């Protein structure tokens, strides 16, 4: 398998993208289920299990939460664009390009295992 010598700035951008995505997902888990205030609901009882789906009322996001989400999304867009449009990709084509992009996503996994 070919090993690609990625430029350091590309590796740094990919790592920042992974970390930002993880932070965003962690933050989003703690938010109310709806960005806007909405009443809760209870679904019909399931035929064979008797399970009933439900959601409690959602107060919606606070202004601070909206700003944090917007900032995270903007940073994710910035980093994603930086990774996808890096000049390194112009040096590859076809299958090599695909394989290199997949390797870049896991280049830091190998560093953590080696440490």
Q: What is the pLDDT of residues 68-104, one digit of tens each?
A: 999 999 999 999 999 999 999 999 988 899 999 999 9
DSSP 17-85: HHHHHHHHHHHHHTS-S-SS-B--EEEEEPTTT--EEEE--B----HHHHHHHHHHHHHHHHHHHHHHT
pLDDT of residue 36: 96
DSSP 72-95: HHHHHHHHHHHHHT-GGGGG--HH
Stated as kind and residue range, the H or E segment containing 51 is none
Q: Report the percent of the chain where pLDDT is more than 70.
A: 94
- DSSP lists the bridge partners of residue 54 as 42
- Confidence band for 1, pLDDT divided at 50, 70 and 90: low
Query: pTM of the entire structure?
Result: 0.82
């Amino acid at each position: 398998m070919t090993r690609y010598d990625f430029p350091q700035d590309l590796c740094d951008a990919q790592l920042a993208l992974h970390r930002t995505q993880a932070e965003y997902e962690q933050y989003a888990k703690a938010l109310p289920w709806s960005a806007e205030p909405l009443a809760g609901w209870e679904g019909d009882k399931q035929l064979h299990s008797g399970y009933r789906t439900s959601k409690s009322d959602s107060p919606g996001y606070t202004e601070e939460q909206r700003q944090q989400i917007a900032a995270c999304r903007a940073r994710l867009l910035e980093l994603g664009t930086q990774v996808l449009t890096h000049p390194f990709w112009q040096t590859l084509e076809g299958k090599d390009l695909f394989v290199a992009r997949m390797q870049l996503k896991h280049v830091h996994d190998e560093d953590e295992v080696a440490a």
